[in-house]
Chain A
C-alpha cells in the first residue's frame, strides 16, 4: 500500500543529461558501460595483439618454411624439413644441454632461496623485514649485464676467487675441479661451472619471492604443533614446511627454468664454446641467416614451458605468484 502511495508521486526517474559535449560523453559512458570497456581495452589489445602476437605468429609460420641450401634463400612453401633438421644429433645435443642446465639451475636456486625466504617470512619483523625485501629486490632489479660483468671480474683467472682460494691454501682444489672433463676448463670464466654459478646468481631473486610468498601463508603454530607432537626439525621440514612451500618453489622454478632456457648472453660471455638454445637461435638468425631453423629452435622452449606451466598449474603454483 505504502509502496503504491510512494509510486503515485514519483520523483523524475531520469535526471536531465549533463550539458555540453563532455557531459554528453560522460552520460553515454554511464549508460553504456560496455562501450567504455571496449574503448579502454582497444588500445592495449591492438598493441599487444598486432605487435606482439602478430610477430609471434609470423615467427611460428616461418618455422614451416625451409632454406635453400645452395642459394641461402628462404623457400616459402609449407614443409616439416626444418623440424627434421632440428632432430640432428648436434641440435639435439644443444637442446639436451640447455634443459639439463635449466634443471640444475632451478634445483640450486631452490636450495639457496629456501633459507632466505623462510627467515624473511617467519623471523624477520619490522625493519628487518623491509631490509630482507629490499635485499632481494635490489639485486633483482640491478642491471642484468652489470651482474654478469661482476661475475666476469670474480671468475677471471687473476680475479678475486682465485686469490681467495690461494689465501685459503685451496688452490689445488680449484685446479682439480677445473681439470674435470665437462664442468672444468681453462679458468672458471670459460667453464660450465662458471655458467652455472652466474645463472643461479642472476635468477635467484625470482625464486626467493614466490617461495617467501608461499611461506608467509604457513601459520607459525603449524610448525610448533608439529614439534609439540614430537617431530624432529628434519621431520617438520619434510612433512609440514616443504609440502606447503612446494607451490611457491614450483612458481619460482617457472622463472628460473624459462629464463635459463632462453638466455644467450650469459653462456656467450661466461662459458665454453658449446652452444645453448639461445645462442643457437641467435647465430642461426644472424650469421647463418637461417630464420626457419632459428624459428624452429624457439619452438622448443615454448613447448617445454607449455608442458611445464600445465604441470605447475595442476600443482596450484599460480596461487603463489
Chain B
C-alpha cells in the first residue's frame, strides 16, 4: 500500500510539468492553425484569415500523391521484412540462452543507436562500392534495417511475459511444433507484433536522414518536405501536408498504445 496515494504534488512541480508538456505539444498544434491560413508568402502570426482552399490545391498536386504512394509502399514492405526478421530474432533470443546472445541484442539495436547519418552514409558508400543503382529497393533495404529493432523490442517484451510452460503443455498434449506455433505462440504474440509493426510503419514513414542517402531521384513524403523546407515553393501546400503527416503518424501510435496497454500494466504491477 502506497502511503502517498491521493497526496497532491507541490505547486511548483505541477507548473513545471504542465509547462513541459505544453512545450511538447503547442508547436504541433500550431501546424493545424497554419494549414488554414490565407497567407501565402510568409509565416506571419496571427493568420490574416482562415480558408480551406489549400486542401483542394494539395489534393490536386500529383507530386504529393506520388510521394505519398512511394512512402506507403516503402513502409509496408520494410515493415513486412522487419516483422519476419524481428520476430525470428526475438524468439531465438528469448527462448534459449546461447553464446553471443548479448551481442545479437546489441547488433539489432545498433542501427538506431548510432546516428542516422552514419547508417545512411555507410549504406550509400556500400551501394557505390557494389555498383548498385539507387531504386525503390535501396530505400527499403535501409528502412528495414532500422525497423527490425522496434518489432524486436515489442516481441521480446511479450515473449518474456509468455510462460514457457504453455508451449510445453501444448507439446505434451500432442501438438507438433507447427501446431504449437500456430495455435499457442502466435495468438500470444499477435498484438505485440501488430503494435511493433505499426511502430515500424510509422518509423519508416517518417524517416528522412537515411532516406536522403539511399534514395536516388525518388521522393518519399519526408524527402518532399525536406525539399520544401530548404527551397520553399508553395508554403500553404507544405502546411497542409505537414498536418496530414501528423494525423497519419498519430493514428498508428494511438492504436499501438491501445494494443499493448493492458499487458504493460500487468507487467508494471508485477514489479
Contact = CB atoms under 8 A, between A and B. Distances in A.
Interface of A: 18, 22-23, 25-27, 29-30, 33, 36-37, 40-41, 43-45, 47-49, 51-56, 58-59, 62, 112-113, 115-116, 118-120, 122-123, 125, 130, 132-139, 141-154, 156, 158-160, 162-163, 201, 204-205, 208, 216-217, 220-221, 224, 233, 254, 258-259, 261-265, 268-269, 278, 281-282, 285, 291, 294-295, 298, 301-302, 305
- For the complex of A and B, list the 3 residue pairs with the smallest distance between their C-beta atoms, beginning with the closest: A262-B115, A115-B16, A55-B126
Interface of B: 2-5, 7-10, 13-14, 16-17, 20-21, 23-25, 27-28, 30-31, 34, 42-46, 81, 84-86, 88-89, 91-92, 96, 98, 104, 107-108, 110-111, 113-119, 121-126, 128-129, 141, 144-145, 148, 171, 176-178, 199, 202, 206, 208-209, 222, 225-226, 229-230, 238, 242, 245-246, 249-250, 253-254, 257, 261, 271
Given A118-B13, A122-B4, A305-B114, 10 more contacts: A40-B88, A43-B84, A116-B17, A142-B250, A144-B208, A147-B27, A258-B113, A261-B115, A269-B230, A295-B121
B21 A116 contact: yes
Given A45-B104, A139-B25, A298-B118, A55 B3 contact: no
Given A26-B178, A47-B85, A143 B245 contact: yes
Nearest to A113: B20
Contacts of B222: 143-145
Nearest to A259: B115
Contacts of B85: 43-44, 47-48
8 contacts: A22-B178, A52-B122, A58-B122, A142-B28, A147-B28, A156-B43, A262-B209, A301-B118
A23 B113 CA distance: 42
A176 B206 CA distance: 37
B176 A23 contact: yes
A282 B146 CA distance: 20
Contacts of B199: 141
Contacts of A115: 13, 16-17, 20
Nearest to A58: B126
A136 B222 CA distance: 22
B208 A26 contact: no
- Name the residue among B122, B144, B238 with the largest chain A CB count within 10 angstroms: B122
A112 B22 CA distance: 12
Nearest to B176: A26
A281 to B, nearest CB: 6
A155 B199 CA distance: 30
B206 A143 contact: yes
A14 B73 CA distance: 50
B229 A145 contact: yes
A150 B28 contact: yes
- Name the residue among A137, A153, A221, A291 with the largest chain B CB count within 10 angstroms: A153
B121 A148 contact: no
A285 B23 CA distance: 36
Contacts of A120: 17
Contacts of B2: 220
A205 B27 CA distance: 14
Contacts of A25: 177-178
Given A146-B246, A159-B43, A278 B117 contact: yes
Nearest to B130: A58
A123 B4 CA distance: 8
Contacts of A33: 96
B13 A119 contact: yes
A144 B242 CA distance: 10
A67 B47 CA distance: 52
B108 A44 contact: yes
Contacts of B123: 51, 55
A153 B30 contact: yes
Contacts of B13: 115, 118-119, 123
A52 B111 contact: yes
Nearest to B213: A285
B208 A265 contact: yes
A305 B109 CA distance: 14
B15 to A, nearest CB: 8
Nearest to A135: B21
Contacts of A302: 114, 118
Contact of B104 (A41, A118, A216): A41
